[in-house]
Amino acid sequence: MENKSMSYEYDLNLKATELRLALPGSDEPDEKQSVTCVRSNKRASSEISEESKSSSSVTIAGNGDSDAPPPAKAQVVGWPPIRSYRKNCLQGNKNEGEGVGRFMKVSMDGAPYLRKIDLRVYNSYSELLNALENMFKLTIGAYSERVGYHGSDYTPTYEDKDGDWMLVGDVPWEMFISSCKRLRIMKGSEARGLGCSL
């Protein structure tokens, strides 16, 4: 991520001298839960590193030095210590079924972390795409019904309630925000493939 190099001015810069096994460009190989693994039903995964996923619970893998007994896979009660009120406020309707909760995951091919946005804050595709461009520092290009996005390497796609991957912009806005489960900004030829297949 673009911020990382600047941030290590403050650090002791152990990173520069450290020998480690890691995929190039991934910053935190030791981290047990640094992940993004885009789950996609219909297409092959992108180049995002498929590091071991860990739930936010007590799962320790890899270099764990802990003496803890084999941890449960289930979420730990009351951890992290967030007040129930705050949890309910922000998670809200997550229990009502997959996805159409309040904050939408947005992943980008090649980025090690995903982001979250609140779709309700936007009123149109152009606002949403602007926000995505700012968030990921890229240009998305112009949309056309026939060939999808052109003019850049990036194509915004989304997974809908049926699990299908669609091009952002194909359906009317209102239908989009009520059916979108998560967003993925695809890069390169894969993206163009999706556009043409419609």
Partner 1 sequence: MESELKRFRNSPNSEELTRRSSFPDEVIERVLSLFKSHKDRSAVSLVCKDWYNAERWSRTHVFIGNCYSVSPEIVARRFPNIRSVTLKGKPRFSDFNLVPLNWGADIHAWLVVFADECPFLEELRLKRMTISDESLEFLSVSFPNFKSLSLLSCDGFSTNGLSAIATHCKNLIELDIQENGIDDRGGSWLSCFPESFTLLEVLNFANLTSDINFDVLERLVSRCKSLRVLKVNQSISLEQLPRLLVHAPQLTELGTGSFSQQLTFPQYEELESAFSSCNNIHTLSGLWDVKAIYLPALYSACTNLTFLNLSYAALQGGELAKLLRHCPRLQRLWVMDTVEDKGLEAVGLNCPLLEELRVFPLDPYDEEIAHGVTEAGFIAVSCFCPRLHYVLYFCRQMTNAAVATVVQNCPNFTHFRLCIMNPRQPDCTTGEPMDEAFGAVVKTCTKLQRLSVSGLLTDLTFEYIGKYAKNLETLSVAFAGSSDWGMQCVLEGCPKLRKLEIRDCPFGNKALLSGLEKYESMRSLWMSACNVTMNGCRLLARVMPRLNVEVMKEDGSDDSQADKVYVYRSVAGPRRDAPPSVQTL
Exposure on the CB side of residue 136, measured as CA atoms within 13 A: 28
67 CB-near residues (< 8 Å, 6+ apart):
none
Q: If you ran DSSP here, which 8-state letter would residue 75 be given? A: P
* Tokens coding 184: 């993925």
Is 174 a binding residue for partner 1 by CB under 8 A? The answer is no
Q: Which stretch binds partner 1 (CB under 8 A): 47-55, 141-149, 152-160, 165-173?
A: 47-55
Task: Give the three-class secondary structure for 94.
Answer: helix
Comparison of 18 and 47: residue with beta carbon closer to partner 1:
18
Task: Give the three-class secondary structure for 38.
Answer: coil
Phi, psi torsion values for 149, nearest 5 degrees: -90, 135
d(CA 163, CA 44): 15
13 CB-near residues (< 8 Å, 6+ apart):
none
Taking CB under 8 A as the criterion, the residue among 42, 78, 95, 197 binding partner 1 is 78
* Tokens coding 128: 């949403």
Taking CB under 8 A as the criterion, the residue among 79, 97, 98, 175 binding partner 1 is 79
Minimum CB distance to partner 1, residue 144 (Å): 26
Q: Which stretch binds partner 1 (CB under 8 A): 35-43, 150-158, 159-167, 189-197?
A: 35-43
Is 126 a binding residue for partner 1 by CB under 8 A? The answer is no
d(CA 113, CA 49): 11
Comparison of 3 and 189: residue with beta carbon closer to partner 1:
3
Minimum CB distance to partner 1, residue 82 (Å): 6
Residue indicated by tokens 């403050």: 10
Per-residue x/- marks for partner 1, 82-121, CB under 8 A? xxxxx--xxx-----------x-x-x-----xxxxxx-xx
List of residues contacting partner 1 (CB under 8 A): 1, 3-4, 7-8, 10-12, 14-15, 18, 28, 30-37, 53-58, 60, 63-68, 75-86, 89-91, 103, 105, 107, 113-118, 120-123, 134-135
